[in-house]
């Protein structure tokens, strides 16, 4: 199972939110590149980089941070937040992202996303599925749709999507453990997907549990920043 640390960016700084609430923000480091280099030094190969300013404003804002990390590390970076137009996508790839992370746009503007999959190749995208009671949530998790997670994933698997990360929004940032039962059901239904768990990871035990059900990867944020998971311990999963 691939361990994928997360760096969330506001004003160029490494932060974490609780359940997507910008009012519940903790700044962990003023220098995201320093954080990324620490991840690389621990033997990690990939990074989940989220532009929270971009997500809020609907256009990519912190692409310079992406550029710096891509130029100064060997990490394979998936970048999301504010990718709404062709120009945003172009900036993200030109700045060094290996994958563009797409969430709400895949729900609200399916035709646009499908055109990108056709133009760039589905292997260049990481599909983000935020879930509340097995329904897709969008708009910073404020809005829950009637779209079933399984129907949503099936549609995009048919369009060629290979990588998906799923966040149970009731778990994110709360360090209460991941949604093992939900993820198990998804993996059983879509065995060919490179499925990445996200949200709620609070301990090494959580990671072992995710590995045991067949997760291809796990995104970890707050648990690392708050010392619940030590980078040196992750080597047992690498």
Annotated catalytic residue 8: yes
What would the 3-class secondary structure string for 71-131 be?
Answer: HHCCCEEEEECCCCCHHHHHHHHHCCCCEEEECHHHHHCHHHHHHHHHHHCHHHEEEEEEE
Annotated catalytic residue 130: yes
Residues 153/193, Cβ–Cβ less than 8 Å: yes
Residues 153/130, Cβ–Cβ less than 8 Å: no
Q: How far is CA 223 from CA 63, 162, 185, 229, in A?
A: 25, 27, 25, 6
Which residue is it, tokens 């059983």? 188
Catalytic residue chosen out of the listed positions 51, 53, 130, 168: 130
Which residues does the annotation mark as catalytic?
8, 130
């Amino acid at each position: 199972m691939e361990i994928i640390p997360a760096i969330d960016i506001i004003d160029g700084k490494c932060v974490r939110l609780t359940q997507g609430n910008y009012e519940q923000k903790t700044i962990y480091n003023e220098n995201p590149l320093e954080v990324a280099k620490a991840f690389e030094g621990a033997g990690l190969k990939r990074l989940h980089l989220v532009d929270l300013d971009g997500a809020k404003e609907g256009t990519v804002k912190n692409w310079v941070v992406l550029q710096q990390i891509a130029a100064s590390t060997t990490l394979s970076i998936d970048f999301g937040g504010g990718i709404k137009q062709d120009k945003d996508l172009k900036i993200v790839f030109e700045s060094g992202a290996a994958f563009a992370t797409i969430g709400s746009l895949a729900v609200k503007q399916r035709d646009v996303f499908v055109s990108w999959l056709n133009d760039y190749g589905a292997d260049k995208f990481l599909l983000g599925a935020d879930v509340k009671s097995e329904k897709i949530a969008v708009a910073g998790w404020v809005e829950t749709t009637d779209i079933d997670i399984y129907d949503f994933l099936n549609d995009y698997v048919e369009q060629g999507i290979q990588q998906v990360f799923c966040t149970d929004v009731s778990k994110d940032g709360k360090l209460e453990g991941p949604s093992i039962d939900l993820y198990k059901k998804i993996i059983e239904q879509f065995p060919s997907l490179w499925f990445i768990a996200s949200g709620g990871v609070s301990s090494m035990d959580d990671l072992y549990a995710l590995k045991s059900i067949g997760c291809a990867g796990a995104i970890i944020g707050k648990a690392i920043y708050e010392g619940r998971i030590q980078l040196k311990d992750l080597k047992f999963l690498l």
